[in-house]
Structure 1
Amino acid sequence: MPHEYLLKPDPHDARLSTSVTGIDHTGKPVDTRVVTEKALTLYLNSQEVVTMMTIGDHPDLLAVGYLKNQNMLKPDDVITGIDYDDDLEVVVVRTERETNYEEKLKKKVRTSGCAQGTIFGDVMESFDTIDLPKAELKTSWLYSLTKAINTTPSLYLEAGAIHGCVLCEQDKPLAYMEDVGRHNAVDKIAGWMTLNDIIADDKSFYTTGRLTSEMVIKTVMMGIPILVSRSGFTAWGVELAQRAGLTLIGRARGKRFVALSGSERIVFDMNPDDMDDEPKRASRKGREGDE
């Protein structure tokens, strides 16, 4: 029986992918699905903050999560409204508190995330004050999670060229979001957590993409103590994870994984010899990997 998510991708949403005709390696005509990509300009009250490239689903979650992870929405901020105009490709988040981030917006720094992800200089000041919860991750949970996530119908399996992120609790994936940039997928989950008052203390976070500095920073900013990926690491991502006390697990495929930070949270409750190696991932209709 498929796992029931609280929030998950809809690979059959016609707005999120389109069919394009081309030729294959033999010169024969071929139809293939490709994901859509559109601009979304975010305003906080009356101030323009950023224009993002996104697949266009859940603009409200993306907007709130972006502002939260950039430390532009404070814990005590009250959101009074979120307005989205599809024709103008604009989303406006309104708060009770008057905001003015003109100086902060001058300090933005390009990161390695797809679609020109950005962080701001003073985010690191908040990063260093966050005390992540103890929590734990049983290896049996990890094995169950990777199996459930990798067999979930998704835009990745339908069209490729996309990243996925999943919020998990013990052995259950709760919320699964995808986007052309992994940072957008993270922000959509952060927005969902914020708007639904989801506690982060007992959660773990899974991403299909690399464990970069940006992924580590966003996970810590969300207060989640465990970050897992089927992909690899960057040196700065590892350094920041160790600095924050984040459990960082990469190359999680089948019964194999590597932890480079926070290994004290891992509980080895299952013998990996009792696990089968990961089978070949479900077909993506001949497309190459996008990780």
Structure 2
Amino acid sequence: MAIEQSADKMSLTRSIVRYDREAFSEIEDSIVTEFPLTIYVNGEEFATMVCTPTHFEEMVIGFLASEGVILFYKEIASLEIDESKGFAYVQLANGKTMQPAQYSKRVIGSCCGKSRQFYFQSDVKTTKTAVSAVTLSASQCIQLMKNMQEESTLFKGTGGVHNASIGTPEELIVSRTDIGRHNALDKLYGYCLQNQIPVRDKVLVFSGRLSSEVLTKAAKIGVGVVLSKSAPTNLAIELAEDLNITAVGFIRGQSFNVYSHPERIYP
């Protein structure tokens, strides 16, 4: 079967066999690209992330911040991406180092959950209780989700990625896409750190399931409202309650469910 890489490297075209209406046919299908990126911090191997090959710098910055390696973008002295080999080299500023007992080499899969063995190690110091006073209307919730979905050409072409955006109640500021939901969120976090965008008054819009990991990521970023097209888990709802985050799920058509802190959503 023929395989052709797309110009943007985020997808490729492949000949496949499709069954439909009691018949087989050969068609061209668009397949999302999966790419391993190994991160070195101060010369030491830190993590290998399986991701969509776009916005590498943002993802690395957001990931290091979410893991507590850095608090601010200025704590990175240099960041180099060797895309041809799949390496990211980070040098921390001012002699900053990592504690060996706290961090170790790891592999981060494109799925959530148990592939991230270190999940609870740094959450205590990096997860923040939301202090957001932002409010938005029901129609704004629906419109933000619609806008994010309309922007995602990669999802329309492949159906194989997660979409995430940060915005105000009125509009989306930035959107990112990745095969890993945590990668998409890290890209947003990195973008905000690089561009010094305050997030306390912002809204996180997300296409995937609201898992506890997603809620934890949202809390690390610092937003107070998370909008999702999909369902939440029970632990995600409990975390949202504890962390003062408004969790909204099943935004489809003209309806949605508010699972925690509904005071931020008005008719």
Would the TM-score normalized by the shorter structure come out above 0.5?
Answer: yes
Question: Match for residue 28 of structure 2?
Answer: 31
CA spacing shift, 1:258–1:145, aligned 2, 3 Å:
same
Whether 2:83 is the aligned partner of 1:86: answer yes
Q: How many residue pairs end up in the alignment? A: 257
Question: Match for residue 50 of structure 1?
Answer: 47
CA contact (8 A) 1:115 1:180 kept: no
CA deviations over 1:203-253 (Å, ceiling 9, x no partner)? 000111100011000000011110010100111111111110100000011
**What SS does the aligned partner of 2:151 have?**
coil
**What SS does the aligned partner of 1:210 have?**
coil
Q: Please identify, of 255-264 and 149-158, the stretch whose mean Cα deviation from structure 2 is larger.
A: 149-158
CA contact (8 A) 1:205 1:224 kept: yes
CA contact (8 A) 1:208 1:231 kept: yes
Q: How many angstroms apart in 2 are the aligned matches of 1:95 and 1:267?
A: 44
CA contact (8 A) 1:249 1:260 kept: yes
Question: Match for residue 124 of structure 1?
Answer: 123
Question: Match for residue 69 of structure 2?
Answer: 72
Question: Match for residue 272 of structure 1?
Answer: none
Q: How many angstroms apart in 1 are the aligned matches of 2:126 and 2:133?
A: 17
Structure 1: which 5+ runs fail to align? 1-11, 269-291
Question: Match for residue 196 of structure 2?
Answer: 197
Q: How many angstroms apart in 1 are the aligned matches of 2:159 and 2:259?
A: 28
Question: Match for residue 3 of structure 2?
Answer: none
Query: What fraction of aligned residue pairs are identical, expressed as a percent?
Result: 24
CA spacing shift, 1:70–1:226, aligned 2, 3 Å:
same
Shift of 1:108: 7.6
Letter in 1 for 2:88: V
Letter in 2 for 1:56: P
Q: How many angstroms apart in 2 are the aligned matches of 1:120 and 1:222?
A: 16
CA spacing shift, 1:110–1:176, aligned 2, 3 Å:
closer
**What SS does the aligned partner of 2:155 have?**
helix
Q: How many angstroms apart in 2 are the aligned matches of 1:246 and 1:123?
A: 20
Whether 2:208 is the aligned partner of 1:209: answer yes
Q: Please identify, of 102-111 and 77-86, the stretch whose mean Cα deviation from structure 2 is larger.
A: 102-111
Letter in 2 for 1:20: R
Structure 2: which 5+ runs fail to align? 1-5
**What SS does the aligned partner of 1:186 have?**
helix
Shift of 1:76: 8.0
CA contact (8 A) 1:81 1:94 kept: yes
Which among 101, 104, 110 is matched to residue 102 of structure 2? 104
CA deviations over 1:67-87 (Å, ceiling 9, x no partner)? 111111124852221101112
CA deviations over 1:102-138 (Å, ceiling 9, x no partner)? 2112598989617934554343312565343222122
Q: Please identify, of 71-80 and 167-176, the stretch whose mean Cα deviation from structure 2 is larger.
A: 71-80
Question: Match for residue 150 of structure 2?
Answer: 151
CA spacing shift, 1:177–1:110, aligned 2, 3 Å:
closer
CA contact (8 A) 1:16 1:57 kept: yes
